[in-house]
Structure 1
Amino acid sequence: MRSAIVAVLGIFALNGVVFGSWAPRVPALAAQIGAEEGALGLSLLGASIGMIASALLSGSLCARYGAKVMVLISAIAGCVVLPVLGLATSPLQLGLVLVVLGVTVGALDVAMNIAAVTAIRQSGRAIMPVFHAFFSIGGLIGALGAAGAAALALNPLRHLSIVAVIGTAMAIWFARRIPVEDLKPQAAHTGPKKSLVQRPVLWLLGFIALCSSVAEGASVDWSAFFGVHERGIGEASAALIYAGFSICMAIARLLGERIETRWGSQRMLIGGSTIGALGLFIAVLVPAPAFTYIGFALAGMGLAYGFPVALELAGAVGRRADGGGGERELGFVTTIAYSGFLLGPPMIGGIASVTSLPVALGVAAVIAWAMAPLTLLANRARRREQQTRQQAVETATT
């Protein structure tokens, strides 16, 4: 079981490396295609569009072919597509390549989370936040590699080709050890079968993940800008705001198993959303620059659990009597969550342009806190669904 957990951790890290490798090279890619901010922004939307398009379908494919197969295919496909970014010569070409890359990353994201749910079930350990911590660590490794490549004046094609070769080798090595569930042929839910869109618990879990992604995206995209333009912090020092946010998020996720085991997923989500909202409020309401660092560090700690725990619970509510299932449910929740990464940045930017950036980040704080009541509603919907299923079982056996 230990090798299976290590394999899933490795795949999470690989996904982070892929993302962390190309995102910091955006300035070089912009110069390569001669794009200004507006055209570049439209090109970058391609990644989010591809991720949303693939998430729901990926859940069904994992249910049919298994997460192990989908992890291998999507990871290798992502590594193959990655260097193609270095061949783009126009904003349209860059956007189309990012759509394809987004499809592979979205498919891998769903497949690796399904593999993580399998590892959790087989090991009996609440380690979903730990898996997501390794995604953050992978992103940091990818970003450091990108910084090194830029310092050595490697163009994106050469740099991303090196990442692709290493990533492909990692994908093949780790995918072979991904855990596989031993499903019974007749596995199915007992009782009346509902479509995914008819299950309130899935919508609520999706909105929890959505709120988490919007608040996290606002912190990632605007923290340094906020430090420079609202608190008078220098650009180099402002970059440390995001660094502190990311490090605190990674540490909180690494400690997630211990916290979830002691407090449970519901208290974990409610406490995390409260701390995340408090951190953002501190950053925007206290004018001292030191509290900007403190506020975003708290936000990183609090927002660490929303997305991974929502996905863990989505897998749990889709579990069948044979111990399998949850693939389609996890894909459904992920699709809703991804819309937050697509809509969040322009929404925060739009609010900031009409009012101010502190007000916009205050809205992000409210969205972060909204995970608390959504968690209570999701727990109630989950219990109601379990009662309905149990009644159906009792009716069928009498």
Structure 2
Amino acid sequence: MSPRLVTFVVFLLNGAVFGTWASRVPALAGQVGADEGVLGLALLGASAGLAFTAPVAARICAVYGSRGVLIASTLLCSLLLPVLALSQSPLQMGLSLVALGASVAAMDVSMNIAAVTVVRDLRRPLMPQFHAGFSVGGLIGSLGSAAAAQAQWTPMRHFLVAALIGLIVTAIVAKSIPGGVGERHRQEATERASVLKSPVLWLLAAVALCSAIAEGATADWSALFMVRERGMGDAAAAYAYAGFSVTMALARWFGEPVQRKLGPHRLLAAGGGLAATGLALTVLVPVPAAGYAGFGLAGLGLAFSFPVVMDLAGEAGKRADGSGGERELGLVTTIAYTGFLAGPPIVGGLAHVSSLVLSLGFVALVTALIIPATWLAKRATRQPAGV
């Protein structure tokens, strides 16, 4: 198997793991007897595991290479699914999600490093296609969860089957996973100055943060917005996020020619403007059609934010021999996870004191900040990075 195909499969597997457990949250909540408030606290475990592990995983990848970290974390992601299914209390569920979130974070960082390696070797802007694999994997995982629920499988039975499939896929691709560094690179990585001193990385992280806030808010609140503010039924409202997801996946898969034509910075700025326009259309035009169109535009505009930022962050840490970028990716990924964690509560809090219209309007303004952050990152790239 080619490194490109193997990396795509790993992204797909990462998305499938997320789609599998996230879609069975109602069944898990019933199993542990958690109401909405307690369940929300338990679910924070996954976000905590993600945020705290990403920078650690990046440092390990910088010293020892991404390949071993990616194989180990991929195996752990599969093995921890049945552990999650063993939960009998909200506390056990939360602790299991901390472990699963940590494994997903290590997998996320190392697979992005592997993707950067492939992009450098092939000299093609393929990062959005790899992230499209995550979207496809999430769809596969959620469809599998729907089928398992329809068949009345318990979470344990479902997660055991999913874990077995994950282990088999990992065994097939492990030998061909790209990555790894030599002893000289280990010495360079340990002596390299802190990435925290790089203004380019902080600006790229700001782009990822704004994008993550918008994406997380759309995922959690789009359906409720269509129900409460636009009078749609639950089933019809679900198509708002479906449209967001479909436009994002299609843009990532078929967007390579656009990225080649515009370049990364213009693509980021244009995408941020399109996403902000879509969200503004959703909240300013009080008809359901505008809501569906707006969320679709938001998915289209945000499609390139995270993958292109990953590409640029890897490039910022590139060494003379073509390696490097591990800790730069870790920093940006960690801050992006903060956005995914913070976005939904921000919208909920603002909606509580005002309305969903005003809170999603605020998200549109945050999304528009992608434009100046990208412009400043482009300017800073021309100057010494200071790392």
Shorter-chain TM-score: what band?
over 0.9
SS at 2:176 equivalent: coil
1:256 Cα offset (Å): 2.6
Match of 1:72 in 2: 71
Q: Which amino acid aligns with 2:214?
A: A
- Counterparts of 1:1-398 in structure 2, within 5 Å, are 3-180=2-179, 185=184, 194-385=193-384
Partners of 1:61 and 1:118 in 2: how far apart?
Answer: 16
Residue type of the alignment partner of 1:11: V
**Counterpart position of 1:394:** none
Q: Following TM superposition, by how much is the alpha carbon of 1:83 offset from its aligned partner in structure 2, in angstroms?
A: 1.2
User: Contact 1:187–1:322 at 8 Å: present in 2 too?
Assistant: no
Question: What is the CA-CA distance between 1:186 and the residue it aligns to?
Answer: 6.0
- TM-score, normalising length: structure 2: 0.97
Paired letter, 1:144: L
1: CA distance, partners of 2:95 / 2:17: 17
1:35-67 deviation line (CA, Å, top 9, x unaligned): 100000000000000001110011111112211
Deviation at 1:23, TM superposition (A): 0.5
Letter in 2 for 1:327: E
**Residues 189, 320 of structure 1: 8 Å contact kept:** no
Q: TM-score, normalized by length of structure 1?
A: 0.94
CA RMSD across the alignment: 1.7
Deviations 1:153-186 (A, max 9, x none): 0011110110000011112222221223675826
Residues of 1 paired with 2:17 and 2:192: CA distance? 38
Deviation of 1:286 (Å): 0.7
Code of the aligned partner of 1:81: L
Distance 2:153 2:80 in 1: 18
Change (3 A) 1:238 1:182: same
Following the alignment from structure 1 to structure 2, what is the Cα–Cα distance between the partners of residues 212 and 176? 34
Aligned residues: 386
Give unmatched runs, 5+ long, in structure 1.
390-398
Is the 1:12–1:132 contact (alpha carbons within 8 Å) kept by the matching residues of 2?
yes
Structure 1 distance, partners of 2:180, 2:77, is 25
AA aligned opposite 1:235:
D
Q: Deviations over 1:84-112 (max 9, x none)?
A: 11110111110000000000000000000
Could you tell me how far apart the structure 2 residues matched to 1:182 and 1:355 are? 52
SS of 2:319's equivalent in the other structure is coil
C-alpha displacement at 1:126, in angstroms?
0.3
Deviations 1:221-279 (A, max 9, x none): 10000011110011111111111110000001112321111110001100100010011
Identity within the alignment, %: 51
Instruction: Tell me the amino acid that sits aligned with residue 341 of structure 1.
Output: F
Retained in 2: the 8 A contact 1:118–1:181? Answer: no
